[in-house]
Amino acid sequence: MPEPILTIKNLTKKYGENVIFQNLDLTVNEGDTIVIIGPSGTGKSTLLRCINLLTRPDDGQIWLDNKEITARGTDEDKVRQHIGMVFQNFLLFNHLTALGNVKLGLDKVKKMSDKEATEKAMHELARVGLADRADHYPGQLSGGQQQRVGIARALAMDPRIMLFDEPTSALDPELIGEVLEVMRQLALEGMTMLVVTHEMGFAREVADRIVFMEKGYIVEQGSPNEMFNHPKFPRTREFLWKITELYGKKEKEAD
């Protein structure tokens, strides 16, 4: 029986009157890759931001490794160390080199010595295939390379779980492949991942479970086979069909 790393219960987030999602439940087991899909404005990104407490949920609980992180008095900075986050727009620190980006957390949060931090950071850069770009600034890297540095930066903290917020949506089609490849590799290595994406090829091939969210609710979830071939709800079928049509072309171009 696999251990749940992340458990979400009754999670609710509103902005004023506007309910983003309500009473949302989700469990992520160790080593799982879960892909969340759904139309934009459905609360997928907000959900990820609630999980690492960048946004405070209004109601409900989240447990990370059986510890409730939404409890009062939780050290948020500590929680975030254990949750890696990769952003749609990369959000690398522009004034630091690739190495500097990956090192910053090791240096200031983990308080490693400079030598240790450099070694660890170089190891993570090598993991995403960018050891030879260590001294490049974000402005000197392609979008795909920047995103891989973003992944290395998150990995360096040895997170329990990685959150990906549409990691390839801001990329040119020909750069998407290299980022997905790194993510595929991570999944193979057993990293627990929660991925918001429209890349159906990735979802079909890598996901252990696909979660279809719409208007703040989880409509349906299941294995890629169930979701693609025997969805329970017509809405799921409709969305998957549409998105595959739309993004399938882009994937072909990328190959």
Residue 34 tokens, joined: 């879960």
CB of 92 to another protein, least distance (A): 8
Beta carbon of residue 191, minimum distance to another protein (angstroms, whole number)? 16
Least CB distance to another protein at residue 81 (A):
4
150: left (phi over 0), alpha (psi -120 to 50) or beta: alpha
- Which strands form 67-68's sheet, in the order they lie side by side? 18-29, 4-15, 59-64, 67-68
- Per DSSP, helices labelled H in the chain are 44-51, 76-81, 98-108, 114-127, 143-155, 173-188, 200-206, 224-229, 234-254
93/241 with CB nearer another protein: 93
As measured in angstroms, the least distance from the Cβ of 172 to another protein is 15
Which residue lies nearer to another protein by CB, 165 or 214? Answer: 165
Q: Is 78 exposed, middle or buried (0-12, 13-18, 19+ CB in 10 A)?
A: exposed
Chain contacts with another protein (rule: CB under 8 A):
52, 54, 77-78, 80-81, 84-85, 87, 89, 91-95, 104-105, 108-109, 137-140, 153-154, 157
The residue (of 146 and 197) whose beta carbon lies closer to another protein is 146
Backbone dihedral angles phi then psi of residue 89, each to the nearest 5 degrees: -100, 25
Distance, CA of 220 to CA of 105 (rounded, Å) = 37
* Closest CB to another protein among residues 158, 245: 158
Kindly tell me which of 78 and 252 has the beta carbon lying closer to another protein.
78
- Going by C-alpha positions, the residue among 212, 230, 229 that lies closest to residue 221 is 212
What is the closest distance, in whole angstroms, from the C-beta atom of residue 114 to another protein in the complex? 15
